[in-house]
A = this chain, B = another copy of it.
Amino acid sequence: MNLGKIYVVGIGPGNMQDITVRAYNTLKNVDVIAGYITYINLVKDEFSEKEFYVSGMKKEVERCEQVLEIAKSGKNVALISSGDAGIYGMAGIMIEVAVDSGVEVEVIPGVTSSVAGASIVGAPLMHDHATISLSDLMTDWDVITKRIDKASEGDFIISLYNPKSKGRVTQIVEAREIMLRHKGENTPVALLRHVGREDQNYTLTTLGDFLNHEIDMFTVVIIGNSKTYVKNGRMITPRGYKI
């Protein structure tokens, strides 16, 4: 029997507009679409003729093992992540699970949340930037705090993924304190909530003030560099052009 192929597909923020043509066509052409229930819900209406394999949260390894079995059975299968599958998504673990199996894994890139979120508020990511996840489920917190410190010292624009969840509320407080060692209180901050979803909304605030606004696990936090400014409601990091 022929082996199927695995596609790890970044669907972008989650609507059918910010998905790439390649990702859309891949989902149209596979036999099975697999993924965490929240992401399956984002695509199931558009691809309702497909077979779905739905798995629960924090079952990432099992999900990948099951996807590998589906491919071994001869079916082409797309494992979906929101945003880009290669940025805190399913691409790495899927390749690790399948790397010795003989089954081909292709990664289809997508628009990651910080990029989609940045576009809503203007152009905050125009210069050198660092992306950091505040989730310490699988990464030691002292590794994360060191990265926040070094990125701040280097005057990077910083995008924080997974800033807060119901059970994880102190990390963002500590992250802010670390950033304030090197960045000013008036540094612009964008809180980008539910980017690309129906209830998308955002707040433009500052490093001094941003903890007074709503932040949840569906929020991306972008903190500017020393040159970032807000004008007429747009957050801009200049690249250096003389205007």
Instruction: Give the distance in Å from the alpha carbon of A88 to the alpha carbon of B231 in the complex.
Output: 20
Q: Tell me if A116 counts as interface (CB < 8 A to partner B).
A: yes
Does A22 make an interface contact (CB < 8 A)? yes
A99: B residues at CB distance < 8 A: 231-232, 234, 236
Which stretch in A146-154, A169-177, A199-207 binds the other chain? A146-154
**A198-228 vs B: 1/0 string, CB under 8 Å?**
0000000000000000000000000000000
Cα A25 to Cα B146 with chains together (Å):
43
Task: Name 22 A/B residue pairs within 8 A (Cβ), A-sorted.
Answer: A19-B21, A20-B111, A60-B241, A61-B241, A85-B119, A86-B118, A86-B123, A87-B115, A92-B238, A93-B239, A95-B123, A96-B236, A96-B241, A99-B234, A107-B118, A127-B133, A127-B139, A128-B132, A128-B147, A146-B155, A147-B154, A150-B156
